[in-house]
Amino acid sequence: MRLESMAAGRPVVLSAAGEAAGFVERSGGGVVVAPEDPGALAQAFRSLASVPAERFAELSRAALGWAGAHDRGAMADRMLALLRSVQRR
């Protein structure tokens, strides 16, 4: 769901750890909180709801850009290019 939200140009609030958290953190298009911390999750939503419009727009652009670079088509294109480069060796 996070990629779909990001593809819609919406910043993500994610309660997770591991690779899912790293994905959102690297994107710059959302906020990550520790899993199973409802207080932190609520605070993240409140913070995001109150950011200035310019900052929200930055988060939205980052989310959209990251999602575009990581959608299935883009990932398939990169994999195909990698396989072709290995095949030529």
pTM, two decimals, is: 0.69
Q: pLDDT tens digits for 52-66?
A: 999 999 999 998 888
Q: What is the pLDDT of residue 2?
A: 65
**34-41: Cβ within 8 A, 24+ apart:** 40/15, 41/13, 41/15
pLDDT band at 67 (very low <50, low <70, confident <90, very high): confident
Q: What is the pLDDT of residue 35?
A: 94
What residues make up the domain containing 73? 2-87
What count of other Cβ atoms lies within 10 Å of the Cβ of residue 87? 7
What's the total number of domains in the chain?
1
